[in-house]
Amino acid sequence: MSTEAEWEYACRTGTTTPFSTGNCLTNAQANYDWRLRYSTCTNTNTASPRKTQTVGSYAPNAYGLYDMHGNVWEWCNDREYKYYPTTARTNLTGPSSGSTRLHHGGSWDWEEDYCRSARRYWSCPDKGNFSLGCRVVLPRNNLNRRQRSIKPTQPIRIADSR
């Protein structure tokens, strides 16, 4: 799993706006509870799917990553911490122990505000939830030639082992 800082970097794609798509997130850009809008944003459709959608149902972000906003919350490797340090840090990872872990991105059953790039939430990893998932992250140099040839806009599906 990514650190919180890695996740936010991948989500933001160099932007400084609340969403990688700009100041608002529309029903055509992500799966969340479309009835509950962020700030003054509007939607053309307020009847959201009310369930997860297939990866790739919405366009990828500028880095070719799908569903960074909405669909399912994504676990981060970091433990929950309430206060950021006041000094500049690179790839801050939080405390090494604790009962909760952070997740980002919002989900299909949460409002648009929780889908913001900087929005974070936390839960106990031993508690299951139908709106939580994870994103597998591998350094590119650890991939074989065939894996490196996969274009970032191609969703990679992992079979459920249950």
pTM exceeds 0.85, yes or no: no
The span from the CA of 161 to the CA of 99, in Å, is 26
* pLDDT(42) > 70: yes
* pLDDT(86) > 90: no
Output the 3-class SS for 59-125: CCCCCCCCCCCECCEEEEEEECCCCCCCCCCCCCCCCCCCCCEEEECCCCCCCHHHHCCCCEEEECC
Contacts of residue 117, defined as CB under 8 A and 6 or more positions apart, other chains included, come to 8, 11, 12, 15, 17, 18, 19, 20, 68, 69
pLDDT at 84 (0 to 100) = 67
Fold of 1-82+95-162: paralog of FGE (formylglycine-generating enzyme) (3.90.1580)
* pLDDT(155) > 50: no
Q: Average pLDDT in the 89-103 region?
A: 79
Query: pLDDT-based confidence at 46, cuts 50/70/90?
Result: confident
Contacts of residue 87, defined as CB under 8 A and 6 or more positions apart, other chains included, come to none
pLDDT at 4 (0 to 100) = 87
The domain limits of the chain are 1-82+95-162
Query: pLDDT-based confidence at 83, cuts 50/70/90?
Result: low
pLDDT at 126 (0 to 100) = 84
pLDDT at 146 (0 to 100) = 58
